[in-house]
Amino acid sequence: MTARVLVVDDNPSNVKLLAARLAAEYFDVLTAANGAEALSVCAAGECDIVLLDVMMPGMNGFEVCRRLKADPDTAHIPVVMVTALDQPSDRLMGLEAGADDFLVKPIDETALLARVKSLARLRATLDDLRSRAARAAKLGISGAACLSQGEEPSGRILVVDDRRSACEAIVNALKPHYEMELEPDAAEALTEGAAGGYDLLIVSLGLSGYDGLRLCSQFRSIEATRQIPILAVAEPEDRARVLRCLELGVNDYILRPVERAELVARVRTQMRRKRYVDCLRQNVEASLEMAVVDALTGLHNRRFFDGVLPSMLEEAKRKGRPVSLIMFDIDHFKTVNDLHGHEAGDRLLQGLATRIKSLIRRSDIFCRLSGDEFVILMPDTRVDVGAKVAERVRAGVAGAPFFIGKNRSIAATISIGLAESGRCGADILREADKALYRSKEGGRNRVYFDVASPQAAPRAPGFRVVRAG
Amino acid sequence: MTARVLVVDDNPSNVKLLAARLAAEYFDVLTAANGAEALSVCAAGECDIVLLDVMMPGMNGFEVCRRLKADPDTAHIPVVMVTALDQPSDRLMGLEAGADDFLVKPIDETALLARVKSLARLRATLDDLRSRAARAAKLGISGAACLSQGEEPSGRILVVDDRRSACEAIVNALKPHYEMELEPDAAEALTEGAAGGYDLLIVSLGLSGYDGLRLCSQFRSIEATRQIPILAVAEPEDRARVLRCLELGVNDYILRPVERAELVARVRTQMRRKRYVDCLRQNVEASLEMAVVDALTGLHNRRFFDGVLPSMLEEAKRKGRPVSLIMFDIDHFKTVNDLHGHEAGDRLLQGLATRIKSLIRRSDIFCRLSGDEFVILMPDTRVDVGAKVAERVRAGVAGAPFFIGKNRSIAATISIGLAESGRCGADILREADKALYRSKEGGRNRVYFDVASPQAAPRAPGFRVVRAG
């Protein structure tokens, strides 16, 4: 795993040293001698990770970090602050400026490399998601704007620690901001973590009966917890294991004694990143779903219908169960558009979709094929039951007018054609279409079903029977 | 990076040894004592990587590997064959059965771990893509079926090697199957690799003037080559650097003297994997695009139109340039559906879309809003030019009948409303809608444009001018 690392320091020999060390590990190294340069390299999208000196003339590191994190185009780039000062307040200032980690000079090279490698892995995951979201945005189907910074995130945290007083301190520090759960037992924690919808796992590496590293690794192996960030809590002398846990995919760590403000800051960073990644994932997910959803009514679209019908018919045939299908359109819909404009027509379509949704069953699949042409697919439904649904829908539409904007309402009726797979097999859509035509011909605002023998026909109020042909 | 590793061996002490070693590195280890067990663990989706013994009673390792690779549900799981025999023919049999690597007992643990870690990283990337593709399939929008095995892949390969005879041997071995390019210079190779659309990079770790590892790392850093698989070529004594290159994201390696059959087999594995990942990526990409494409006609849909119109109007306003918009529908379209059925109506819509696409300009954006309602957005277009496009479209539709299936054709005409942003600003869609209504009222098969002053009106054959109101 490699990455383009930007080293920012006003001292040329510091830059040279760090650059050489990183290059020896085969990172691609860029350098900047001040904040302004650093901002422009980041804005140009030329680096994946920033190592940022705090004390620089002009703009100091805190300010550079704040600016990077305030810009939606650079906010996702991980920043590691590097400083000569080891004041807790300094570390805190860095974390509060949005830094992902804080290292103290002289730099412990192993720790630095472990951190940079861990951030490089993170970047690889993010890159893929970000490029997909960017592609969606370019197509004009961007969902919610995802920000890696911004308001205080909330969320659920599971703390796995069996030292009572230590974990009470952690829970107390975070309780004002997050929903906290505590689990001293590692095996239980695995089950709970997988089931609980957590946003962060805080794992003690010093559990008495279980190897904390193994627990972290297991959280990373299980599908349900693979994406949940992990913050490890370790003793200062646990250094080797801390570095190992970063390799295993743990996102961050904090050393005991846990300092309250540092804990809050590190947790906030993880939570924000989690929200950001979740948001990107949801956008990609939502844009996938858009492919099968009609934008105007929110119903399934024709693409979805074309995909689902053959497999539903096949399954029905295999199981010997019937599928019923309703096809309908709005009577004289063209007139609505012509008299009131297409906007009014759109309102009518939306109102109709909403009303009909409330009249059908959960198992029915309601699709807009196009224009004012709709179908309702009813799995595992005989035509007599389908006829009842159809009549309920017909009566529901005719029963009350629809709001079409500007205090105007109009009455509307629909003509319905009904068909059942047991009678027409794969031709069900064509049969329903034919029945719909008969329904129009018969005077509109009615339900038709084409039967070979009249006695087989179901009867319901407003339901008409015609002979085939 | 961790993973669930399945160890398959009929010898319990071998299993125990390997399992302990992997568990010590925090891998999740599963075990199987024979081929049938192994196949069922893999089919259940319980493991990410398989370590497979060759010599087992019943089904041997080659057969297990072949079966795993033949099943679309398990073909993506990386397999490392482990054997006591060090016959080149054996190694070859494993690679030809589809194995990703072949290790010889006694196992070199460092090499094993490096390989397993590298495969675990690969899995993480694949997992994301596979889950998205599975989600799309569930929504009924799956694209092409992606197979990680199957027919012989073709592709372009760049060989970076400055030892003439060595690289000639490589080129000759692969030339019958792939398009080969040779580049002895590392800096040139970086440029060419980024520009050349390669499917595989073969990099010598023994370049005379450049560190081959650095070159691999740079290929991994650059956006354009990040996803292209790399096969490293190394001397047997280069062991430490080979393991390091796997860490850097190199996909596989081969030791000199390069054995022709082994090279071909390893290259084929990488090529197949590349094809598989490309196919998954393309499917995800295609399903993103589906969200803004009308399934029936292939035109942009309403969602796309709603997204693009405001930004286009805003840009036009800023630059002081006009946008023209055509809105049209098919005259008496309802009658087509009623007389000939919805299928015939769909054919008409498709034929109309295809014909009109050939009549408009590349810069025009043609969308189906719904049913028989279409718009054509014309950026940077004055209404007089827009009127010419509109008239060309009107005449083109009226000029020849449309095929609607079963040797039937029907004549169709459209009514067009035209509007220009310079006159109506953001209300352009409503204005075009109004003009379309006038066009209907005026007798259909014509183009209308609503102007405040008649002299401002463009004239074109079949073009009518009405006063506002």
Cβ within 8 Å, pair B372-A371: yes
**Cα atoms in the Cβ-side hemisphere of radius 13 Å centred on B177:** 21
Identify the residue whose tokens are 């060759």: B54
Residues A235-260 as b/e (b if ≥16 CB within 10 A, e otherwise) read eeebeebbbbbbbbbbbbbbbbebbe
pLDDT tens per residue, range B139-197:
777 667 777 666 677 899 999 999 988 889 999 999 999 999 999 999 999 999 999 89
pLDDT at B150: 64
CB-based contact B439:B413 (threshold 8 Å): no
ipTM of the complex: 0.76
- Domain B143-286 belongs in CATH node 3.40.50.2300: yes
Residues of A in contact with B291 (CB under 8 A): 136, 139, 141, 287-288, 290-291
Residues of B in contact with A301 (CB under 8 A): 295
Chain A to chain B, count of Cβ pairs less than 8 Å apart?
A: 159
3-state secondary structure of A292: coil
pLDDT at A133: 80
d(CA B98, CA A220): 28
Bridge-based pairing of strands A28-32 and A4-8 is parallel
Q: What is the mean pLDDT of chain B?
A: 88
Nearest to A241 by CA among A202, A233, B243: A233
Nearest to B305 by CA among B320, B323, B315, B293: B293
Residues of A in contact with B448 (CB under 8 A): none
Assigned superfamily of B1-123: Response regulator (3.40.50.2300)
Distance in Å, alpha carbon of A217 to nearest chain B alpha carbon: 6
- Domain A1-141 belongs in CATH node 3.40.50.2300: yes
d(CA A76, CA A124): 12
CB-based contact B216:B249 (threshold 8 Å): yes
Residues of B in contact with A303 (CB under 8 A): 140-141, 290, 295
Q: Cα A223–A228–A229 angle (5° rounding)?
A: 140
CB-based contact B421:B324 (threshold 8 Å): yes
Residues of B in contact with A2 (CB under 8 A): 217, 220-221, 248-249
Q: Give phi and psi for A111, each to the nearest 5.
A: -65, -40
Task: Flag whether pLDDT at A310 surpasses 70.
Answer: yes
Q: Give phi and psi for A239, each to the nearest 5.
A: -45, -50
Amino acid making up residue B298: G
d(CA B3, CA B13): 22
**Cα atoms in the Cβ-side hemisphere of radius 13 Å centred on A352:** 30
SS3 helix, strand, coil % of chain A, rounded to 5?
Answer: 50, 20, 30
Structure tokens at B365: 């954006």
pLDDT tens per residue, range B355-407:
999 999 999 999 999 889 999 999 999 999 999 999 999 999 999 999 998 88
Q: What is the mean pLDDT of residues A397-407?
A: 92
Give residue limits of the domains in chain A: 1-141, 143-284, 302-467
pLDDT at B101: 86
Residues B321-345 as b/e (b if ≥16 CB within 10 A, e otherwise) read ebbbbbbbbbbebbebbbebbbebb
pLDDT at A150: 64
d(CA A451, CA A447): 13
Cβ of residue A431 closer than 8 Å to a chain B Cβ: no
Identify the residue whose tokens are 């007599």: A384
Fold classification of B302-467 (topology level): Alpha-Beta Plaits (3.30.70)
d(CA A325, CA A329): 14
CATH topology match: B1-123 vs B143-286 = yes
Distance in Å, alpha carbon of B221 to nearest chain A alpha carbon: 6
pLDDT tens per residue, range A20-59:
999 999 999 999 999 999 999 999 999 999 999 998 999 9
CA distances from A52 to A63, A65, A170, A246, B41 (A): 11, 8, 29, 20, 47
pLDDT at B12: 94
Distance in Å, alpha carbon of B444 to nearest chain A alpha carbon: 12
Structure tokens at B77: 């799981």
- Domain A143-284 belongs in CATH node 3.40.50.2300: yes
